[in-house]
Chain A
Amino acid sequence: MANAATHRTVEAVWRIESARLIAGLARTVGDVGLAEDIAQDALVAALEQWPASGVPDNPGAWLTAVARRRYVDGVRRRVSFERRAGDLARELAETEDPMAEIEFDAHVEDDVLRLIFTACHPVLTRDARVALTLKLVGGLSTEQIARAFLVPTPTMAARITRAKKALADAKVPFEVPVGAELTARLASVLEVVYLIFNEGYAATSGESWTRADLCEEAMRLGRMLAALAPDEPEAHGLVALMEIQASRIPARAGRDGQLVTLLDQDRSRWNRLLITHGLTELHKAESLSGSQLSGPYVIQAALAACHARALIAADTDWTRIVALYDVLRALTPSPVVELNRAVAVSMADGPAAGLAIVDTLAADPAMRGYHLLSSVRGDLLERLGRTDEARAEFERAAAMTANASERAHLVSRAARLT
């Protein structure tokens, strides 16, 4: 087999096996950083040996065996070094077969879940959590992660090293939290996955592995999480939210490369497979939630689903959208949610009702200088036939935005009203 082809195969095997390998090792050695180092050794061995020997029939078992050998060798060296100081008999008993408890079927799924929670531990910065999750759970190389986040590889490598050290220093246990802690920790995991998704959603160009692939990676991580923690409605909600949003990617660019807003998109270009899958996930989330939608991701997914279910924009169930924004507002109050609620209200009950909300919002100091508020207000005024005020509002919005394309859009809307 040609060397390049073998490399691609090794990479593919690594994508499939690495999370389970690292997770299994981490449970034994109690340190994800060390586990990853050992697993990386096995990967290097594969890259060295497979081009000559061919890819083994069971590459996962091969990697596990090599990792296990490396670890045992390491422990033996350490044992002989500490012979005089330590309790030799106990240590030997423990190291007889230190990897015996790695069963790559029985506990491996729990281990992968532990790995996800550890990589997303709040002791780490947000950037570190994202990097470590992609590296340990996603099986991406440091180069791939660096490229996706537009930083030099050494910078990303240092970030990952620091993160692993921070986990070791804080003695973060390799476990899935329980009780009240679980809720907070799960929120951290979900946040990391959604950050990865949004990073990808804003991406433009695509070579072999770039930012755009982050959307797919985030969806994959989300689905893993939902499958490993099937009783958590927010995990299913996040998957649904990402999939329904991603379904619109093919429709968001117009012929001239301009942005097409949701209501103007050609819905026949939406990815139906992702919508179907997303709606199924939402259904699971809603069944688990009971009568009350349980969290921000489920609610946002339900919002996205209102659009996905409407075959044409005019069929959109705005009353339901308003009701969902009411729930979201109660759960995570923010002026931005309120502004979106105003838009929904204007679609359900007419522009005057929407304008009343926007005018209340305009008094909020947090919204001062926020061009979207002026843009929405201009739109509502235009629909009410208050042309002069609308034009002034669009001009104000154009002056406030730093984004050239948005400014051009707003200037043209103002110009149409003269």
Chain B
Amino acid sequence: MRVMVLVKATEDSERGDYADHADEFAAMGKFNEELVKAGIMLAGEGLAPTSDGKRVVYDAEGASRVIDGPFAEAKELVGGFWIWQVSSMEEAVEWVKRAPFKNQSVELRRVHEAEDFAGRLPQDILDAEARLRAQSGQ
């Protein structure tokens, strides 16, 4: 399963003020390396402050309106994310507990798997296809 880990923004991250956080960056780099070596990291990025961001709001008729950042309430904003491939939500939680955060809030969300393929194909077809694919590399 895939889990998206949403790391909330902080006042410093919203200000783009990283000067006092060099140690945290180093620790986070090491943690990211661990995630890669564990084979679970699919994606992970840090987001620029919302002063560089936009919001698009739709009304009931579907008409849209663009709002420029920055946005208030740093704690409600997303400052970065990971997408991990793990075997359970518990595994994702255990990984998050190893992350070098302080004064931080992290939200874990299961990613919907596009159409669960499980059980939707007869076994003989799957076998045949796996055979084919294994032979051809396609």
Contacts and interface: CB of A to CB of B under 8 A. Distances in A.
Interface residues on chain A, size class? 35 or more
Contacts, number: 143
B102 interface: no
Contacts of B136: 303, 336-337, 340
A9 B90 contact: yes
Contact of B135 (A204, A257, A336): A336
A257 B125 CA distance: 10
A277 interface: yes
Interface string B116-135: 11111111111111101111
Interface in A177-222: 198, 201-206, 209-210, 212-213, 216-217, 219-222
Given A16-B95, A59-B94, A405-B128, A206 B37 contact: no
B138 A372 contact: no
B133 A245 contact: yes
Interface in B27-41: 36-41
Tell me whether chain B's interface is mostly helix, strand or loop, or mixed. mixed
Nearest to A200: B130
Given A303-B138, A404-B124, A13 B94 contact: yes
Interface in A245-290: 245, 249-250, 252-253, 257-259, 262, 269, 271, 273-274, 276-277
Nearest to B122: A405
Contact of A8 (B40, B88, B113, B130): B88
Tell me whether chain A's interface is mostly helix, strand or loop, or mixed. helix
A259 B129 contact: yes
Contact of B87 (A216, A222, A253, A300): A216
Interface in A3-36: 8-9, 11-13, 15-16
B85 interface: yes
A403 B128 CA distance: 8
Contacts of B124: 403-406
Contacts of A227: 36-37, 39
Contacts of A328: 137
B126 A202 contact: yes
B11 interface: no
Given A220-B39, A340-B136, A250 B94 contact: no
A249 B36 contact: no
A358 interface: no
Contacts of B1: 216
5 contacts: A8-B88, A9-B94, A219-B39, A227-B39, A271-B114
Interface of A: 8-9, 11-13, 15-16, 59, 109, 112, 198, 201-206, 209-210, 212-213, 216-217, 219-224, 227-228, 241, 245, 249-250, 252-253, 257-259, 262, 269, 271, 273-274, 276-277, 299-301, 303-304, 307, 328, 336-337, 340, 372, 403-406
Given A109-B37, A257-B122, 16 more contacts: A9-B90, A9-B93, A13-B94, A15-B87, A203-B118, A220-B38, A220-B85, A227-B39, A252-B121, A252-B129, A253-B115, A259-B121, A304-B137, A336-B135, A405-B124, A406-B128
